[in-house]
Amino acid sequence: MTRPSGRVKPGWLLGIVAVVLLTRLPAVLHRRAIDDEVYYAVVANEMLHGGLPYRDAVDRKPPLLYAVYWAVFRVAGFPNWVAVHLLAVAWTLATMGVLFLLGRRLFDARAGVLAALLYGAFQPILTLSNLAFSGELLMNLPLAAAVLVLLWAESGARREPLLAGALVGLAFLLKQPAGIGLLPLGVYALSRGHRRSGGWSVRDGWQAAVLVGVGFAAVLGLTAAVLASHGILAEAWYWVVRDHDVPHGPLDAVFWQRLEMRGGLFLLCTGPLVLGTWETLTARERWIDREPEREALLALVLASLVGTAASGRFFLHYFLQLLLPLALLAVALTAGAPALA
């Protein structure tokens, strides 16, 4: 495992903040809801007046997303879109901060800064709707934090895998596709144990993989208990999980037409990230003694692709979940020789 190396210059940090502020300034100045924000606000408004989601106001997002909007409006007043969009700026900066720590942990401080900058620069790709305080934007923070926590785990650790799984559970409660983040965490745990990386044994790998699942299940179980106490567990299960038919699946020509059009736009706008990812995945020498990390990030790319395609609609903001692994993989090209523990 690499150790943090290099120092972070204040100018780098100012650059990160400047990128986010400049790219999100249109959203902050936009004193109205951006796309789906209005639906989340309707549910939150019902909650402010004593109503319940999935019963008094119906939408198909997980409950934690509505709770975040409820908290914002409870503090700042309803409807305060400036507060919502300022929180989106803070949330983006927090996600970039975690990406910095990930890049530094994997490579060095410069790679961490670049990973954060890449995420901040490419996050508002092409359309104003990607500046919305959406589920995809929200879920990226706990997902990135889950990866970071598991990277920090020592051999035989229990708290870190449990916390990583719990963070994936929180991400799922913000947007359903985040649940597939369990796959790369499991891949990392098993690969690290199999390769005995960082002193891990095969037993450590299996134990960590199981504990990640336990942490995830604990968060969902606690949430189910809270929903049941309010008498809306069945309604939440229906709207969050069951009511998600895919009218145009992979066997439908519409699925591939949408993928070609919107996926093509994503590739056009994020070409450097995609090319950098391809180059770093084929440059195996940059991952000497880091194979578990490489396999985990590759699994995160594949899982994010599945999450993006799950509904068959390919809205551009669905592609935001791909930016986490692409930013981390692309910066490997700029990193120096491995500084291994």
pLDDT, tens digit (0-9, with 9 covering 90-100), for 183-231: 999 999 999 988 888 789 999 999 999 999 999 999 999 999 999 999 9
| pLDDT given for residue 199 in this prediction | 83
Span 282-301, pLDDT tens digits: 877 777 778 888 889 999 99
**Closest of 171, 116, 147, 177 to residue 317, by C-alpha:** 177
Q: Are 98 and 37 a contacting pair, CB within 8 Å?
A: no
Is the model's pLDDT at 319 over the cut of 50?
A: yes
Give me the pLDDT at residue 17, please: 79
pLDDT at 8: 66
Helix axes 63-76, 202-229, angle to 10 degrees: 60
Which candidate, 28, 4, 166, 141, places its Cα nearest to that of 87?
28
- Which amino acid, 127? T
The HSE-up count of residue 191 (CA atoms within 13 Å, CB side) is: 19
Looking at residue 338, its pLDDT comes to 43
Helix (H, G, I), strand (E, B) or coil at 331: helix
322 close to 305: Cβ distance less than 8 angstroms? yes
Helix/strand/coil percent split, the chain, to 5: 75, 0, 25
Tens of pLDDT, residue by residue over 11-62, are 777 877 787 888 888 888 888 898 889 999 999 999 999 999 999 998 999 9
Strand partners, 221: none
pLDDT of amino acid 286: 73
Beta carbons of 179 and 165 less than 8 angstroms apart:
no
32 to 23, 49, 86, 90, 127: CA distances (angstroms): 17, 21, 13, 18, 16
Average pLDDT over residues 74-81: 93
Does residue 339 register a pLDDT over 70?
no
Nearest to 324 by CA among 122, 41, 164: 122
Q: What pLDDT shows up at residue 2?
A: 44
End-to-end Cα separation, the chain, in angstroms: 6
CA distance 274 to 267: 7
